[in-house]
Amino acid sequence: MESKPITQRGPGVIAPPPLLFLAPLLGGFLLDRLLPPPPPPLPRALRVAGLPLGAAGIGLAGWFVATMQRAGTPVDVTKPPTALVQDGPFRRTRNPGYVGMALGYLGLALAARGRWPLILLPGALTVVDRGVIQREERYLEQRFGADYTGYRQRVRRWL
């Protein structure tokens, strides 16, 4: 898809998305040690479910990176995209990298029985949605115009 010239280098996200997931995850594990939430602990079935969820997240994130690289457009959100990628995992979600990171976070938190990380996950998702995704969407609309608008109408933001 042909892109329109714009003055901005990138979408102006608030922070690198991996950091927006990693900080509450690690902070939550630290809180679990320093200020454990009251019982009950997570059921074993949830802990076991964490492994496939984490693996799915890692797999989706890898597929996302490979698809972006094949398209020749940067994965780094601070750099302007050179193409509007609509194949691979982008056929099902406009944000496969963030879905992958969220599944990885959830899987790790469940597998490690981290209750604080689970409590902090909705906040992390809200920050990613407002501080990254909404800014990227405005940027992509400006950069790719009707091509992005059509894509946005066909494919869901998350799942």
- What pTM, to 2 d.p., does this model score? 0.91
pLDDT of residue 37: 84
Interatomic CA distance for residues 123 and 121, integer angstroms? 5
Q: Tens digit of pLDDT for each residue in 106-123?
A: 999 999 999 999 999 999
What is the pLDDT confidence band of residue 86, given thresholds at 50, 70 and 90?
very high
Burial of 152 (0-12, 13-18, 19+ CB in 10 A): middle
* Number of Cβ within a 10 Å radius of residue 52: 13
Every domain of the chain and the residues it spans: 17-32+66-154
pLDDT of residue 5: 52
Tell which wins on pLDDT, 46 or 57.
57
pLDDT of 7 over the 50 cut: no
Cα–Cα distances (Å) from 57 to 80, 102, 105, in that order, read 25, 7, 8
What is the pLDDT confidence band of residue 8, given thresholds at 50, 70 and 90?
low
pLDDT of residue 43: 87
What is the pLDDT confidence band of residue 10, given thresholds at 50, 70 and 90?
confident
